[in-house]
Amino acid sequence: MKELLETILSPAFGYAILRVTTPILFAGLGAAVTELAGVINIGMEGIMLTAALAGVVVGALCESAAAGLAAAVAAGVLMALVMAYFSLNLKTDIILAGIALNLMASGGTVFLLYVVAHDKGVSSSLASPVLPQVRIPVIDQIPVLGEILSNHNVMVYVALLSVLVVSYFLYRTPYGLRLRAVGENPDAADSVGISVHQVRYVALIISGILGGFGGAHLSMGYVSWFARDMTAGRGFIGIAAQALGGQTPIGTLLASLFFGMTDALSNFMHFIGIPSEFVQMLPYLATVLALALYARRQVTRRARLARVNRPVEAGTGAAAEGD
């Protein structure tokens, strides 16, 4: 027990949390952006996985980490575009499109891996580059905080920065305003001349970029190779994080940290005899709990729209149901 407390309260633990949180945060931010535009991006998992492979393969081929990163982002955007095309143009249900994409990514990456590296499990035969670690000059002098915050892989800082950037984008730019309007009341946006289609495309592309970053971090920072299914559900955890965080960037950050913390914690749980699996369950249970608690108070999007725009029709118990 004592060892556990020592471990948890050590700066190294804080460092580990940030490290583990990063891919979840990228996924969560991407999912939040699309959710705010009215699109559920279940395909985040597949996006990140594809990006992770792309980063490794191109990075190795070009012997450049930067090239790898660019490829990862490009792959993420490409996957997102496929999703967008099928769901927005061909009218496939967005959730099914996401599931299909995940499936394709899961198998497709192993397939490509084998073609390129002649191994189905890991890409270690490839000499893939790693993104640099960064020391922050002033901060790393601070006793505890410095150890937690400094010397991370550059993508960790990109992730934290993304929270700010996405926040600013959503709440301080005209395009962000339009995006939120499209998600909440597409008819209203349409009536003032905003192309709902275009906005949703952009939202998906943004999530593709963020997912690309997440994938790059996984295979070029977190570890330095690609392994099959290495996203291990982080795409879905990201979706959970934005759900728990109420679709706001800050909320997503906090929820992602919570997920990261339990993930990091689970390695130490055996010290006090709690099976790590229970700790790993925590974030998911928390999400379900939050959902249950919020749902009670939260009026569905549709009812809210009705209450504001059709004030007489909408009434106690009258609104037509359906999500």
DSSP state of 133: E
Contact call for residue 271 and another protein (CB under 8 A)? no
- Of these, 29, 32, 97, 205, which contacts another protein (CB under 8 A)? 97
> Nearest distance from residue 185's CB to another protein, in Å?
5
226 φψ region: left (φ > 0), alpha (ψ -120 to 50), beta (else) = beta
Pick the binder of another protein from 164, 250, 272, 281 (CB under 8 A).
281
The pattern of x and - marking residues 156 through 185 that bind another protein according to CB under 8 A reads ------------x---xxx-xxx-xx--xx
Q: Choose, by CB under 8 A, the member of 3, 63, 66, 111 that binds another protein.
A: 111
Cα–Cα distances in angstroms (integers) from residue 186 to residues 27, 49, 162, 189, 302, in the given order: 24, 31, 26, 5, 11
Residues facing residue 227 across a β-bridge: 122
Q: How far is the CB of 319 from another protein (least distance, A)?
A: 9
Judged by CB under 8 A, the stretch of 56-64, 94-102, 123-131, 218-226 that binds another protein is: 94-102
Nearest to another protein of 57, 243 (CB atom): 243
Q: Which listed residue (122, 136, 188, 254) binds another protein by CB under 8 A?
A: 188
The mark string for 213-252 relative to another protein (x by CB under 8 A, - otherwise) is ----------------x---x--x--xx--x---------
Exposed/middle/buried for residue 244 (C-beta within 10 Å: 0-12, 13-18, 19+): buried
Is 307 an interacting residue with respect to another protein (CB under 8 A)?
Answer: yes
**Minimal distance in Å, beta carbon 179 to another protein?**
11
Q: Does 292 bind another protein (CB under 8 A)?
A: yes
Task: Please classify residue 259 by burial: count the beta carbons closer than 10 Å to its beta carbon, then call 0-12 exposed, 13-18 middle and 19+ buried.
Answer: buried
Instruction: Tell me how far apart the alpha carbons of residues 98 and 43 are, in angstroms, rounded to a whole number.
Output: 4
∠112-203-169 over CA atoms, to 5°? 125
CB 105, CB 230: distance < 8 Å = no
